[in-house]
């Protein structure tokens, strides 16, 4: 990591508003991604690359945020409407370089005055602190343009920063044009610029696109301003990782790893136990309180919140969920669910949107829930589906129970009262109410309301067919076991000489009797 330049660094709060506008360059093709998705919309850590850049610049409070779009513009504009509705999309019809994109953005705000921040849309690791520090440095330096730079171990392929004896930036030299001495420079251009709008407009209008690519580059502005006698400053990023771009899937994976490591490091510093950071993934939008425990294989996405004392994992994925204090979710997948204080979930359960578990509830192994409220202290221990239902306090849903909520056209609701006991293998056919203190008999198909305190029974009466094994399964191990247990007829069935005419009948070709 490079050493910061001398001077006091500021936080984003201390920097305050320092830009009249933010321009995000997001029009590139991103061909190396080999994707139908525009490059800046590829996601990591709970946001798109563009979303991360907008989040890093948002604390500046700029009057205008302009996003230059081109390739995949419809998708990018739609995404902007969701994540940054105040931002303005400006179309770059032809992708003719970074300088041309910046000129297109400035043309959209012809009356703009003051400092303008220009940043690439594919820099997902850019932090708000780094942006704020650049703004503070520019504000105090008197420079017309300040370039964000970074000192890297291997500058191959990157534009070198050339400074004079007083530290002012004199040029940004691309590697193909650099001398041997310049190639030895490890300070490189980070692709983030903060400059006066009027000066940028004037310089961009004079940039010559006479090159092999026929493109206009922002780096050429530096040379023009220096030639005009203007001061161009450079501010080094404290962490060079902040300025890394993302051009292909390999780099996307690498940036994702760095971003996740940052999130986990912050959580651990704040008092969260992360047992295995290598297998734990937490989005930047997630909140985890101190003294929570994240076991290996945990993934927390979206707006998930995990309270103090909660245990999540191992092997658990939560998306847009709330896990209250002291609750635990083990080897389960949950989306849009609320797990109350001291509640337990799993292993191997699936909580779908609309699930709300009150204090001390239990959703055990192999249970699926959807749009259900489970009251305090109630349990759905195992092997059940509970959908479109309200369960009161202190109730128990027996194993293999199914809340039959869909009739093929509409969903219907089931209400289970307080201190109800649902027998195992019960079908509850909605709409239905089972009153307080009621029971249902195991194996029942309940289609009518069960009054409070009643027992709902809906099953055929059992009958035992004596001698069935002797007649239908002669000579089998079952027949021999039955004979040994006292079925005299079964003993005869084991001896072919004693078979009756009925025992010789063909066994029906069905497994319904097995």
Q: At what angle do helices 98-107 and 219-227 cross, to 10 degrees?
A: 80
Angle at 467 between CA 465 and CA 469, to 5 degrees: 100
Is residue 254 assigned to a domain?
Answer: no
State the DSSP H helix or E strand holding residue 388, giving kind and residue range, or none if neither.
strand 379-391
Query: CA-based Rg of the chain, rounded to a whole angstrom?
Result: 34
Q: φ and ψ at 86, to 5 degrees? A: -80, -15
DSSP type of residue 214: -
260 known ligand binder:
no
Q: Of 212, 243, 274, which residue is a domain's last?
A: 243
Of 335, 420, 410, whose CA–CA distance to 374 is shortest? 420
- Kind of pairing, strands 47-48 and 43-44? antiparallel
Partnered with residue 151 across adjacent β-strands are 187
| One domain, residues 213 and 336 | no
26 known ligand binder:
yes
Is residue 6 assigned to a domain?
Answer: no
| One domain, residues 345 and 308 | yes
Cβ–Cβ contacts within 10 Å for residue 142, how many? Answer: 8
| One domain, residues 477 and 448 | no
Quick one: pLDDT at residue 495?
46
Is residue 62 assigned to a domain?
Answer: yes
Q: Which residue has the tokens 């009739």?
A: 407
Choosing from 382, 413, 419, 511, which is the catalytic residue? 382
Are 489 and 478 contacting, i.e. CB atoms less than 8 angstroms apart?
A: no
Is residue 513 assigned to a domain?
Answer: no
Angle at 399 between CA 396 and CA 403, to 5 degrees: 75
Kindly provide the residue ranges of all beta strands, DSSP E only, lying in 133-264, ordered along the sequence: 145-151, 160-163, 169-173, 187-196, 232-236
460 known ligand binder:
no
pTM above 0.95, yes or no: no
56 known ligand binder:
no
396 known ligand binder:
yes
Are 25 and 101 contacting, i.e. CB atoms less than 8 angstroms apart?
A: yes
| One domain, residues 472 and 396 | no
| One domain, residues 217 and 346 | no
Q: Is 463 exposed, middle or buried (0-12, 13-18, 19+ CB in 10 A)?
A: exposed
Instruction: Reduce the DSSP state of residue 436 to 3 states and report it.
Output: coil
Is residue 401 assigned to a domain?
Answer: yes
Quick one: pLDDT at residue 15?
37
Instruction: Reduce the DSSP state of residue 348 to 3 states and report it.
Output: coil
Is residue 510 assigned to a domain?
Answer: no
Q: Of 435, 456, 477, which residue is a domain's last?
A: 456
Is residue 159 assigned to a domain?
Answer: yes
Rounded-to-integer distance, Cα 345 and Cα 80, Å? 36
| One domain, residues 314 and 412 | yes
| One domain, residues 302 and 389 | yes
350 known ligand binder:
no
CATH of the domain at 22: 3.90.550.10
399 known ligand binder:
yes
| One domain, residues 38 and 162 | yes
92 known ligand binder:
yes
| One domain, residues 36 and 96 | yes
Is 412 annotated as catalytic?
Answer: no
| One domain, residues 218 and 118 | yes
| One domain, residues 153 and 211 | yes
- Kind of pairing, strands 160-163 and 169-173? antiparallel
Q: Is 499 exposed, middle or buried (0-12, 13-18, 19+ CB in 10 A)?
A: middle
308 known ligand binder:
no
Instruction: Please state the domain count of the chain.
Output: 3
Rounded-to-integer distance, Cα 314 and Cα 26, Å? 38
Is residue 285 assigned to a domain?
Answer: yes
CATH of the domain at 330: 2.160.10.10
Cβ–Cβ contacts within 10 Å for residue 452, how many? Answer: 14
406 known ligand binder:
yes
Output the CA torsion sign for 15, 17, 21, 26.
positive
Partnered with residue 434 across adjacent β-strands are 416, 450
Are 62 and 19 contacting, i.e. CB atoms less than 8 angstroms apart?
A: yes
Rounded-to-integer distance, Cα 476 and Cα 479, Å? 5
The range of the structural domain enclosing residue 96 comes to 12-243
Quick one: pLDDT at residue 207?
86
Quick one: pLDDT at residue 211?
57
247 known ligand binder:
yes
Tens of pLDDT along the chain (514 residues) come to 333 333 333 333 333 446 889 999 999 888 999 999 999 999 999 999 999 999 999 999 999 999 999 989 999 999 999 999 999 999 998 888 899 999 999 999 999 999 999 999 999 999 999 999 999 999 999 999 999 999 999 999 899 999 999 999 999 998 888 999 999 999 999 999 999 999 999 999 998 765 556 678 899 999 999 999 999 999 999 999 999 999 999 999 999 999 999 999 999 999 999 999 999 999 999 999 999 999 999 999 999 999 999 999 999 999 999 999 999 999 999 999 999 999 999 999 999 999 999 999 999 999 999 999 999 999 999 999 999 999 999 999 999 999 999 999 999 999 999 999 999 999 999 999 999 999 999 999 999 999 999 999 999 998 999 999 999 999 999 999 999 998 755 544 444 444 444 444 443 333 333 3
211 known ligand binder:
no
Quick one: pLDDT at residue 3?
34
424 known ligand binder:
yes
385 known ligand binder:
yes
38 CB contacts (<8 Å, ≥6 apart)?
Answer: 26, 30, 71, 72, 75, 76
| One domain, residues 179 and 308 | no
Quick one: pLDDT at residue 5?
35
């Amino acid at each position: 990591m490079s050493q910061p330049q001398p001077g006091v660094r500021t936080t984003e709060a201390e920097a305050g508003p320092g830009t009249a506008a933010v321009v995000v360059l997001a029009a590139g093709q991103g061909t190396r991604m080999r994707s139908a998705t525009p490059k800046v919309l590829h996601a990591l850590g709970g946001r798109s690359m563009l979303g991360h850049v907008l989040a890093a610049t948002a604390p500046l409070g700029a009057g205008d945020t302009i996003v230059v779009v081109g390739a995949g513009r419809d998708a990018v504009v739609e995404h902007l409407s969701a994540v940054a509705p105040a931002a303005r999309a400006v179309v770059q019809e032809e992708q003719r370089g970074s300088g041309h994109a910046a000129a297109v953005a400035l043309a959209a705000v012809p009356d703009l005055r003051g400092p303008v921040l220009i940043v690439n849309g594919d820099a997902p690791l850019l932090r708000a602190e780094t942006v704020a520090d650049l703004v503070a440095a520019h504000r105090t330096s008197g420079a017309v343009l300040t370039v964000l730079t970074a000192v890297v171990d291997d500058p191959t392929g990157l534009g070198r920063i050339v400074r004079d004896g007083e530290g002012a930036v004199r040029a940004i030299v691309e590697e193909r044009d650099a001398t041997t001495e310049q190639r030895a420079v490890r300070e490189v251009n980070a692709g983030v610029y903060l400059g006066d709008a009027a000066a940028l407009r004037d310089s961009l209008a004079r940039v010559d696109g006479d090159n092999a690519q026929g493109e206009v580059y922002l780096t050429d502005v530096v040379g023009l301003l220096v030639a005009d006698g203007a001061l161009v400053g450079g501010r080094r990023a404290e962490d060079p990782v902040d300025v890394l771009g993302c051009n292909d899937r390999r780099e996307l994976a690498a940036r994702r790893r760095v971003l996740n490591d940052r999130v986990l490091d912050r959580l651990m510093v704040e008092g969260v136990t992360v047992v295995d950071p290598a297998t734990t993934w937490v989005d930047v939008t997630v909140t985890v309180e101190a003294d929570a425990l994240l076991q290996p294989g945990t993934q927390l996405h979206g707006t998930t919140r995990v309270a103090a004392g909660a245990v999540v994992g191992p092997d658990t994925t939560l998306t847009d969920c709330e896990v209250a204090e002291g609750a635990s979710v083990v080897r389960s997948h949950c989306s849009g669910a609320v797990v109350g204080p001291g509640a337990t979930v799993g292993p191997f359960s699936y909580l779908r949107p609309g699930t709300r578990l009150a204090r001390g509830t239990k959703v055990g192994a192999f249970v699926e829930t959807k749009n259900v409220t489970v009251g305090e202290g109630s349990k759905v221990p195992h092997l059940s589906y509970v959908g479109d239902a309200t369960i009161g306090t202190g109730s128990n849903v027996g194993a293999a129970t199914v809340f039959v909520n869909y009739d093929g056209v509409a969903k219907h609701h089931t209400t289970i009262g307080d201190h109800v006991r649902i027998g195992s293998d019960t079908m509850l056919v909605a709409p239905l109410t089972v009153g307080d203190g009621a029971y249902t008999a195991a194996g029942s198909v309940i289609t009518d309301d069960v009054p409070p305190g009643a027992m709902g029974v809906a099953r055929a009466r059992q009958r035992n067919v004596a001698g069935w094994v002797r007649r239908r399964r002669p000579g089998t191990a079952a027949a021999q076991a039955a004979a040994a247990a006292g079925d005299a007829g079964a003993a005869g069935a084991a001896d072919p000489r004693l078979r009756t005419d009925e025992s010789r009948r063909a066994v029906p070709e069905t497994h319904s009797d097995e």
